Amino acid sequence: MNKGRVIQSTGSWYHVDTGTEMVECRLPGRFRLDDKKVTNPIAVGDIVDFSLNEDGTGSIETIRERENYITREATHGKRGQQILVSNLDQACVVQSIKKPRLKEGFLDRFLVTCEAYEVMPVIIINKMDLAKSGGLAFTEELRELYTSLGYEFLTTSLEDEKSLKELKELLKDKTSAFIGPSGVGKTSLINAIDTNYDLKVGKISDFSNKGKHTTTFARLIPLGFGGYIADTPGIREFGLVNIEPWELSLFFPEMLEPREHCKFNTCTHNHEPKCGVAEAFENGEIAASRYNSYLNMLDSLH
């Protein structure tokens, strides 16, 4: 039996890296029927055991237990969840300060998912060369907020060599993922920090000011300076899965202590009396943007 890491999925084939060679593997049909809650039985980053066929291809026999993973609600009318990438040292949510504009709601949903599935999150705000004075001030407000909550926060620009050096140091010798909407510059950043690659980069739609999908499937890319980076397709929505409404506040670090003072153990911090979280918000101990994000997520879970 052979062991390897899935570094690319193209639907019917999985590219498995054994450390010494790349083997194209297929997945037996029984795996596709085992877990109907998941749209993809194998995710990029999975560790698998496979047998070799006479023609040099492989047949996946077992999928080893995942240490962690990033998941979202399935799209295009499908039920269940889609696992984007697994077995990560860290997951980087990439947003651009402009073209397309930064969405705090997307950022907070991503952070909740990382907290829920035990993945170390990193916030990257890209395209800082496009920021004017108002954008710079807004970014510093975000930095102050999220670093106070314990999150790593990095600003980058293709025009700023120092920021690219900091990004390389962040990624070196780790398995990381870039996750964010189309057009925020995920692939461009990979091209900039590793000149071994010239990955296809999309353009921003002049009509919608949103990114066009260029990366069409997730893949783990070996970095020349050590480590892997998962380049994932652009995501416009980040739906939460397997989280009950009363659990949601467990994944907001600033709500952990206040929720201990709630009258009800299953308080959703929305309408209940004697709510510690609502009181903390009213006292200015929880940022309005974060509390609004919480309420929006709570509404979607209901």
Same structural domain, 96 and 193: yes
Q: Is 80 contained in some domain?
A: yes
Same structural domain, 114 and 210: yes
The count of domains in the chain is 3
Q: Is 240 contained in some domain?
A: no
Q: Looking at 65, 94, 113, which one is the last position of a domain?
A: 65
Which residues of the chain carry a pLDDT beneath 50? 33, 202-216
Question: CB 237: neighbour CB atoms within 10 A?
Answer: 12
Q: Is 236 contained in some domain?
A: no
Q: Is 264 contained in some domain?
A: yes
Same structural domain, 80 and 204: yes
Supply the pLDDT for residue 72: 81
Same structural domain, 61 and 79: no
Q: Is 91 contained in some domain?
A: yes
Supply the pLDDT for residue 76: 55
Q: Is 239 contained in some domain?
A: no
Same structural domain, 179 and 268: no
Supply the pLDDT for residue 214: 43
Q: Is 258 contained in some domain?
A: yes
Supply the pLDDT for residue 27: 87
Question: Which pTM was predicted?
Answer: 0.87
Which domain does 218 fall in, by range?
A: 74-231
Same structural domain, 196 and 97: yes
Q: Is 237 contained in some domain?
A: no
pLDDT digits (tens, 9 = 90+) for 185-226: 999 999 999 977 766 554 433 333 444 444 446 789 989 999
Supply the pLDDT for residue 201: 54
Same structural domain, 60 and 81: no
HSE value, Cβ hemisphere, 13 Å, CA-based, for 16? 28
Supply the pLDDT for residue 215: 43
Same structural domain, 85 and 57: no
Same structural domain, 59 and 81: no
CATH of the domain at 138: 3.40.50.300
Supply the pLDDT for residue 235: 75
Same structural domain, 79 and 56: no
Supply the pLDDT for residue 205: 38
CATH of the domain at 51: 2.40.50.140
Q: Looking at 20, 44, 65, which one is the last position of a domain?
A: 65
The one-letter amino acid code at 48 reads V
Supply the pLDDT for residue 204: 39
Q: Looking at 169, 199, 231, which one is the last position of a domain?
A: 231
Q: What whole-number distance in Å separates Cα of residue 72 and Cα of residue 211? A: 20
